[in-house]
Chains A and B, each alone.
Chain A
Amino acid sequence: MIKVNGINKRYLKKDGRGNRVEINALKDVDYDLSAEGIYAIVGESGSGKSTLAKVLTGVEVCDSGDLFWNDTRMVSASFFNDKEIRRNVHLVLQNSKDALNPKMSIYDCIAEPIRNLCKLDKSTEYQRVESLIKMVELDEKVLIKRAHELSGGELKRVNIARAIATNPQLIVFDEATSGLDVIVKKKILDLLKRIQEKNACRMLFITHDIEVALYMSKDIAVMQKGKIVERVQNVSCLSDFRVAYSKLLIDAMPVFGMSVTQVESATYKSVG
């Protein structure tokens, strides 16, 4: 459905001495999403994963390379402003509180993409928002509140509701669960799995947390320094990852790095 070929993205950043340094956020990256399902890209900070997410959703324009939407080549700049594509591609930002206008009610926030991209009358719009809020398992009371009155988990759900408002074919999540407590995190991830099944859309998780990637997806790409170093399309076990860097990331997870005696004593049930 969406495909990028050999895209490059550079930007200028100032270093400690005030000199401008060119940073290669993306170097010759190929990536594609075709079938419905959940995809994941893992990388540490500075690996260019967020930039890739932004290029895929059109928020940022890449310097060179091709972008295909349903096999038609798109001009990067117009990609973002195309209403059809805006309706079908959504990016959920990392900071869910900051992603909501503090002066707007939650209802207005969720209704925003509907108003801009689908022409609905007031009452259908209201019904749509109501059904969305039910879908993300929130109470209707939150609709009249402002962002600062909600908890972290609720804010995330509001962001998800806004993302699925126009029934997009692709939703990209930039660090979907950062800043959430472990219990809430799992609930949100499970909710997203359910939504994906119901809406039959594509979800792409951009994350630094390899556990999230393994939990959510069978198609995992690993990024390092602006390049995709490895992509495993059908992960069944950890040994599917062969590149040294991927192994390093997996190794850094405490659960797999623990000493033998501790492993023996810790027997918890597998959810993955």
Chain B
Amino acid sequence: MKKYLFGKVVILSAVLIIVTVISFILTNISSVDPAEAYVIAHSQIPTEEQIQEVRVEMGLNLPIHQQYFNWLRKAINLDFGTSLRTGNEIVDDIKITLMPTFILVLISMILIIIATISLGMLCAQYPNSIFDHLVRVFNILGMSVPTFWFGYLLLYVFAVKFRFIPVISRGEIESAFLPALTLSVPLIAFNVRLLRSNLLDNVNEDYVLYARARGLAEWRIMTKHVLKNSLAPMITIFAQTFAYLMAGTAIIESVFSWPGMGAYIIKSITARDFPVITVYVLIVAIVFVCSNLLADLINIWMNPKVLNCSGGQNDW
């Protein structure tokens, strides 16, 4: 168990280190000279001297590894500098925008989990029924729909045609529903399909037959045994879903003008605001790493067999 976790932690820390290196490279090797950008940002006409001065001030004349560690020290203290576009401290901007994004992701996550489990259970309980086929059609549609386009359709129908909600939201909970729905539809489609096939595989297992043969109630077999066994491999998928959502809100937020981190980053990309992009890359990577680690922990707790499976056996 310790070894297993250790391996995971090694991989995840490797990811984190690589991310910081990439972020660092991003800030330094990008087509914009940070010193020049700084001078321009302070509304001065850059002269060679000033740039040199700022360069020394920012530590850009130091060797590259030292620059990296300086940058890392600053990053740990949440000092990422200022945004080229808004002129604010990046940390402040992120602080304001992180919460709405998190709310959006949370609502989507709840939608996804509820819809996945209920639709999956119903489909597996009545396989090949009309309902099952409808869900199958929904799955194919959900997997194929371009989310931003779907978002615009919803926006057009609900905001432009029927005027149920304002077109531009200010981050109220009630206007979070449409973007959350848009975000979750494709993920529900993927997850329902997975859970359904997991459930159907499990229903035909010997242990279900034996559970019935020793007189357990049907609902108990379905919830305590079949669902438990089918959900175990889904834990990792749900964690990935969460991380994917954190990274994937960008397009949807800009569609619905949701005042979150995603919309903020899209604006920064259009403005080629690299310091902000760097911070975003860092945040998303950290979320990814943390949720993966959490998923592994839950997996070990729920499924002791994880530790027991060994890889290839035929070696020659």
Q: Do chains A and B touch in the complex (CB under 8 A)?
A: yes
A98 → B minimal CB distance (Å): 13
Interface of A is mostly: loop
Shortest distance between the CB of B164 and any CB in chain A (Å)? 53
What per-residue 1/0 map shows which CB atoms of A16-27 lie under 8 Å from chain B?
A: 111110000000
Q: Is the CB of A80 within 8 A of B316?
A: yes
Give the CA-CA distance A13 to B307 in the complex, in Å.
11
Does B43 belong to the interface (CB within 8 Å)? no
Residues from chain B with a CB closer than 8 A to the CB of A15 are: 308
Query: Is B31 interfacial (CB-CB < 8 Å)?
Result: no
**Interfacial chain B residues near A19, Cβ < 8 Å:** 1, 3
Instruction: Assess A18 versus B310: contact at CB under 8 Å? Given A59-B316, A80-B316.
Output: no
Asked if A14 is at the interface (CB within 8 A of a chain B CB), the reply is: yes
- Name which residue of chain B comes closest to A18, CB basis: B307
**In contact, A16 and B308 (Cβ under 8 angstroms):** yes
Residues of B within 8 A of A17 (CB): 1, 307
Residues of A53-89 whose CB lies within 8 A of B: 59, 61, 80
A13: chain B residues at CB < 8 Å are 310
A4-19 contacts to B, CB under 8 A, are 13-19
Q: Is B312 an interface residue (CB 8 A)?
A: no
- Once the chains bind, are B307 and A14 in contact (CB under 8 Å)? yes
| Contact B310–A14 (Cβ < 8 Å) | yes
- Report the separation of the CA atoms of residues A157 and B1 in the bound assembly, to the nearest whole angstrom: 45
Q: How far is the CB of B116 from chain A (nearest CB, A)?
A: 29
Is B63 located at the chain interface by the 8 A CB criterion? no
* B300: nearest chain-A partner, CB-CB: A18
Chain B residues with CB below 8 A from A61, complex form: 316
A 79-106 contacts with B by CB, 8 A:
80
Residues of A within 8 A of B309 (CB): 14
Which residue on chain A has the smallest CB distance to residue B4?
Answer: A18
A16 touches B304 (CB 8 A): yes
Expressed in whole angstroms, the minimum distance between the Cβ of B127 and any Cβ of chain A is 24
Complexed CA–CA distance, A14 and B2 (Å): 13
- Residues in B neighbouring A14, C-beta threshold 8 A: 307-310
A interface, size bucket: 10 to 19
CB distance from A106 to the nearest CB of B (A): 24
Mask, B283-316, CB within 8 Å of A = 1, is 0000000000000000000001001111000001
Q: Which residues of A contact B307 (CB under 8 A)?
A: 14, 17-18
B33, chain A: closest CB distance, angstroms: 52
Query: In the complex the two chains form, what is the Cα distance from A14 to B1 in whole Å?
Result: 10
CB distance from B142 to the nearest CB of A (A): 34
In the complex, what distance in Å separates the CA atom of A7 from the CA atom of B114? 58
CA distance A17 to B304 in the complex (A): 8
Query: Which residues of chain B in 113-128 are interfacial with respect to chain A, using CB atoms and an 8 Å cutoff?
Result: none
B1-12 CB mask vs A (1 if < 8 Å, else 0) is 101100000000
Q: Which residue of A lies closest to B313 (CB)?
A: A11
Name the CB-closest residue of B to A11: B313
Cα separation A153 to B307 with both chains bound (whole Å):
38
CA distance A80 to B309 in the complex (A): 28
Q: Which residues of B are found within 8 Å of A18, using beta-carbon distances? A: 1, 3-4, 307-308
Report Cα–Cα, A18/B4, bound state, in Å.
Answer: 8
Complex Cα–Cα for A18 and B310 (A): 10
How many Å from the CB of A206 to the closest CB on chain B?
A: 18
| Cα distance A59–B314 in the bound complex, in angstroms | 9
List the B residue with the shortest CB-CB distance to A20.
B3
Smallest CB gap from B306: residue in A? A18
Q: Which residue of the partner chain A has the closest CB to B309?
A: A14
CA gap between A72 and B239 in the complex, in Å: 59
- B312 CB to nearest A CB, Å: 12
CA distance A19 to B6 in the complex (A): 13
21 A-B contact pairs sorted by A residue (CB < 8 Å): A13-B310, A14-B307, A14-B308, A14-B309, A14-B310, A15-B308, A16-B304, A16-B308, A17-B1, A17-B307, A18-B1, A18-B3, A18-B4, A18-B307, A18-B308, A19-B1, A19-B3, A20-B3, A59-B316, A61-B316, A80-B316
Q: Which residues of B contact A (CB under 8 A)?
A: 1, 3-4, 304, 307-310, 316
What residues of chain A have their CB less than 8 Å away from a CB belonging to chain B? 13-20, 59, 61, 80
Q: What 13 additional pairs, Cβ within 8 angstroms, besides A14-B308, A14-B309?
A: A13-B310, A14-B307, A14-B310, A15-B308, A16-B304, A16-B308, A17-B1, A17-B307, A18-B3, A18-B307, A19-B1, A59-B316, A80-B316
What 3 A-B pairs have minimum CB-CB distances, sorted nearest first? A18-B307, A18-B1, A14-B308
